[in-house]
């Protein structure tokens, strides 16, 4: 009975290191040169111990070797060798021509902040991450200590009661049993009411000491961990259409002018960059971190003209910030043009579309007006002939509008950036043809997702990999009425406790719904994005929003 109580009360006080922020898998999208990659760091279960690094490639990604290097970066009060800042282990990942997941394992020897360097021979992405420590909270220490005292005192009391001439002597160890159980029970009951310390890496800047024991810092109580907004400066040399170029993105603290180097992973990326060209082509890219407060975005602009640039990021201790580049950037006439904007790689229009992002192979038909309750905005096909349709409810300013994309007729979509679908909204826009300038000046430039709480129960799933790049779920359980429709939407449940399914799980869709409330009437440009067979499809839509009722 005593040991059963130990297990019950110990479970009532979980360690802080078991939280998703500290112990889950970490996925980071990176636009590394011409490659759009997803780097996955699997959770570290013991220190020292192995860190599994996985890289997911997409259709059109070139084969080649990536170098991997891990470096501890956190200062510590204890002397460690090698010192922080010196690499401790190296590895390599050989990417094949088939899209899928490739991996290697490196060794980490301490808890605290680390940096993963991923290089392709020309550039290196530096990804900060945390290796958590196994921490016993103060209530846990009292729980275990109290039951240890009770466990030791109990047999002593029994022996004394049997062998002592005066049974009163047995009351002394018996009192120890009672005191130990009382301390353990009290600590377990009160543990739920005790506040957690500031979480390193999420609320406060991490170092080796506060990661190893966040309770030892004795910091004053803080209720507001937010930090000032970020300013974005774009630095680039002359960019010519059809030629690859690098944009340097400098992040500056608006309150101090210092470089901002405290971004945390949000929706599987440190920074989401949205670029819209003169003809309305969208690139959804993920700049690499090259140094403190400096990121690099590799692009190949398909045509001359003005390009709008917006970023989405999260600072440590704060919420999501959407930061637009005040001036965007201009592209001069080059030797080639008329290609699709795909970030570091461009493809001829009408050719085989692959990589990130890819546009559907048909333009959107003209909007038929908001008076129709349900109307088809896009009817097109992917490069392999898979039908793609987008329908919408009545679009009225101030009233939620639901847009539904249907890609094929099988549940074989993959989560990208932790979501089944992405929706980028820009508008209201004027009627001119310079969409880059129009989007830059648009009052609304939003980024929404398709997600929810519907489970995947009963679904047969397959995980495509380098050897089976196009397989997916063959079927799912079919209910009746609205339950079947909700199941068809496949709205991102979590798995493994902390970590949601990654891109190898091709089991979502084919229907992906979005709900968005347009604040202003007018004409909007929308881009819906889903991943299928390791290819991100970008579906452009033109939507006219009618004025709402006067308030």
> Locate tokens 């045509």: which residue?
303
**Which of 349, 380, 400 finishes a domain?**
349
Per-residue pLDDT, averaged over 213-226, amounts to: 71
Q: What is each CA distance from 22 to 112, 205, 334, 495, in whole angstroms?
A: 10, 13, 47, 16
Instruction: Note whether 304 and 391 are same-domain residues.
Output: no
Instruction: Note whether 326 and 378 are same-domain residues.
Output: no
Helix (H) or strand (E) holding 249: strand 244-253
Instruction: Note whether 76 and 212 are same-domain residues.
Output: yes
How does residue 530 score in pLDDT terms, banded at 50, 70 and 90? very high
How does residue 337 score in pLDDT terms, banded at 50, 70 and 90? low
C-alpha 434/C-alpha 279 separation (Å) is 7
Q: Note whether residue 143 is domain-resident.
A: no
Residue 482 confidence (pLDDT): 40
pLDDT for 244 beyond 60: yes
Instruction: Note whether 365 and 344 are same-domain residues.
Output: no
Per-residue pLDDT, averaged over 164-180, amounts to: 81
Instruction: Note whether 343 and 273 are same-domain residues.
Output: yes
| CATH number of residue 45's parent domain | 2.60.40.1930
Alpha-helix runs per DSSP H in 191-305: 208-212
Domain that holds residue 479: 358-551
Tokens of 528: 């819906």
C-alpha 324/C-alpha 309 separation (Å) is 6
Instruction: Note whether 430 and 542 are same-domain residues.
Output: yes
Instruction: Note whether 321 and 343 are same-domain residues.
Output: yes
Q: Note whether residue 384 is domain-resident.
A: yes
C-alpha 209/C-alpha 198 separation (Å) is 13
Instruction: Note whether 116 and 64 are same-domain residues.
Output: yes
How does residue 196 score in pLDDT terms, banded at 50, 70 and 90? confident
How does residue 154 score in pLDDT terms, banded at 50, 70 and 90? confident
Q: Note whether residue 145 is domain-resident.
A: no
DSSP codes of every residue in 118-136: EE-SS-EEEEEEEE-----
Instruction: Note whether 281 and 207 are same-domain residues.
Output: no
In terms of phi and psi (left: phi > 0; alpha: psi -120 to 50; beta: otherwise), the region of 254 is alpha
Residue 190 confidence (pLDDT): 86
Percentage, residues of the chain above pLDDT 90: 48
pLDDT for 43 beyond 70: yes
Instruction: Note whether 330 and 378 are same-domain residues.
Output: no
How does residue 319 score in pLDDT terms, banded at 50, 70 and 90? confident
Q: Note whether residue 305 is domain-resident.
A: yes
Q: pLDDT digits over 402-448, tens only?
A: 999 999 999 999 999 989 999 999 999 998 789 999 999 999 999 99
Per-residue pLDDT, averaged over 504-533, amounts to: 93
Q: Note whether residue 146 is domain-resident.
A: no
Q: Note whether residue 177 is domain-resident.
A: no
Residue 403 confidence (pLDDT): 93
Q: Between helices 138-163 and 171-190, what is the axis angle to 10°? A: 160
Instruction: Note whether 388 and 516 are same-domain residues.
Output: yes
Residue 472 confidence (pLDDT): 32
Residue 485 confidence (pLDDT): 42
Q: What is each CA distance from 162 to 157, 167, 177, 179, 298, in whole angstroms?
A: 9, 8, 17, 22, 81
Find the range with the poorest average confidence among 176-180, 198-202, 320-324: 198-202
Find the range with the poorest average confidence among 102-106, 206-210, 232-236: 206-210
Q: Note whether residue 188 is domain-resident.
A: no
Q: What is each CA distance from 217 to 22, 41, 84, 212, in whole angstroms?
A: 18, 28, 20, 11
**Count of structural domains, the chain:** 3
Find the range with the poorest average confidence among 168-182, 221-235, 328-342, 407-421: 328-342
Tokens of 486: 């909700």
Q: Note whether residue 184 is domain-resident.
A: no
**Which of 312, 329, 349 finishes a domain?**
349
Cβ atoms 61, 37 nearer than 8 A? yes
Percentage, residues of the chain above pLDDT 70: 76
pLDDT for 350 beyond 50: no
SS3 251: strand
**Which of 302, 331, 349 finishes a domain?**
349
Find the range with the poorest average confidence among 225-239, 327-341, 481-495, 528-542: 481-495
More confident residue, 12 or 38: 38
Strands across the sheet containing 89-95: 89-95, 64-72, 112-119, 124-131
More confident residue, 349 or 527: 527
C-alpha 18/C-alpha 5 separation (Å) is 22
DSSP codes of every residue in 531-546: EETTEEEEEEEEEEEB
In terms of phi and psi (left: phi > 0; alpha: psi -120 to 50; beta: otherwise), the region of 231 is beta
Instruction: Note whether 486 and 533 are same-domain residues.
Output: yes
Q: What is each CA distance from 358 to 75, 282, 349, 353, 492, in whole angstroms?
A: 43, 9, 11, 6, 23
Q: Phi and psi dihedrals of 407, rounded to 5?
A: -115, 105
Report the greatest alpha carbon distance in the chain: 105
Q: pLDDT digits over 105-152, tens only?
A: 999 998 889 999 999 999 999 999 988 888 888 888 888 888 898 888
C-alpha 529/C-alpha 413 separation (Å) is 11
Count of other CB atoms within 10 angstroms of residue 105: 13
């Amino acid at each position: 009975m005593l040991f059963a109580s130990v297990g019950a009360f110990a479970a009532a006080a979980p360690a802080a290191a078991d939280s998703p922020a500290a112990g889950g898998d970490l996925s980071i999208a990176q636009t590394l040169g011409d490659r759009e990659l997803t780097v996955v760091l699997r959770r570290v279960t013991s220190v020292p111990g192995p860190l599994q690094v996985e890289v997911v490639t997409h259709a059109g990604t070139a084969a080649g070797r990536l170098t991997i290097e891990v470096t501890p970066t956190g200062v510590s009060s204890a002397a460690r060798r090698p010192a922080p800042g010196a690499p401790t282990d190296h590895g390599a990942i050989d990417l094949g021509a088939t899209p899928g997941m490739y991996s290697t394992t490196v060794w980490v020897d301490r808890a605290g902040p680390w940096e993963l360097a991923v290089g392709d021979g020309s550039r290196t992405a530096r990804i900060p991450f945390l290796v958590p420590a196994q921490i016993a909270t103060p209530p846990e220490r009292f729980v275990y200590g109290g039951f240890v005292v009770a466990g030791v005192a109990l047999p002593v009391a029994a022996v004394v009661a049997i062998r002592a001439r005066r049974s009163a002597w047995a009351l002394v160890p018996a009192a120890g049993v009672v005191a130990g159980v009382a301390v353990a029970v009290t600590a377990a009951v009160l543990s739920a009411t005790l506040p957690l310390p500031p979480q390193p890496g999420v609320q406060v800047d991490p170092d080796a000491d506060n990661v190893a024991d966040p309770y030892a810092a004795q910091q004053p109580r803080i209720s507001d961990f937010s930090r000032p907004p970020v300013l974005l400066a774009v630095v680039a040399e002359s960019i010519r259409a059809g030629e690859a170029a690098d944009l340097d993105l400098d992040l500056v603290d608006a309150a101090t002018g210092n470089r901002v180097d405290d971004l945390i992973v949000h929706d599987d990326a440190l920074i989401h960059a949205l670029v819209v060209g003169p003809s309305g082509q969208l690139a959804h890219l993920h700049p690499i971190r090259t140094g403190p407060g400096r990121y690099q975005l590799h692009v190949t602009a398909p045509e001359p003209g003005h390009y709008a640039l917006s970023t989405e990021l999260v600072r440590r201790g704060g919420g999501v910030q959407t930061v637009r580049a005040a001036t965007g950037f201009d592209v001069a006439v080059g030797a080639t043009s008329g290609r699709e904007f795909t970030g570091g790689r461009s493809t001829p229009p009408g050719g085989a579309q692959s990589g990130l992002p890819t546009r559907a192979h048909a333009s959107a038909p003209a909007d038929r007006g908001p008076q129709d309750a349900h109307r088809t905005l896009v009817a097109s096909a992917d490069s392999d002939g898979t039908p793609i349709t987008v329908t919408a409810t009545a679009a009225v300013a101030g009233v939620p509008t639901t847009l539904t994309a249907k890609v094929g007729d099988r549940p074989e979509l993959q989560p990208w950036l932790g979501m089944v679908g992405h929706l980028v909204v820009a508008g209201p826009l004027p009627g001119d043809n310079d969409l880059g300038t129009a989007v830059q000046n648009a009052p609304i430039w939003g980024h929404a997702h398709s997600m929810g709480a519907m489970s995947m129960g009963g679904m047969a799933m397959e995980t495509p990999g380098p050897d089976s790049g196009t397989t997916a779920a063959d079927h799912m359980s079919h209910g009746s009425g609205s339950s079947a429709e909700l199941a068809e939407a496949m709205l991102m449940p979590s798995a493994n406790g902390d970590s949601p399914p990654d891109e190898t799980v091709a089991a979502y869709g084919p229907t992906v719904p979005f709900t968005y409330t347009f604040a202003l009437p007018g004409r909007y440009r929308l881009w819906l994005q889903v991943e299928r067979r390791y290819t991100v499809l970008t579906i452009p839509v033109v939507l006219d929003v009618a004025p709402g009722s006067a308030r």
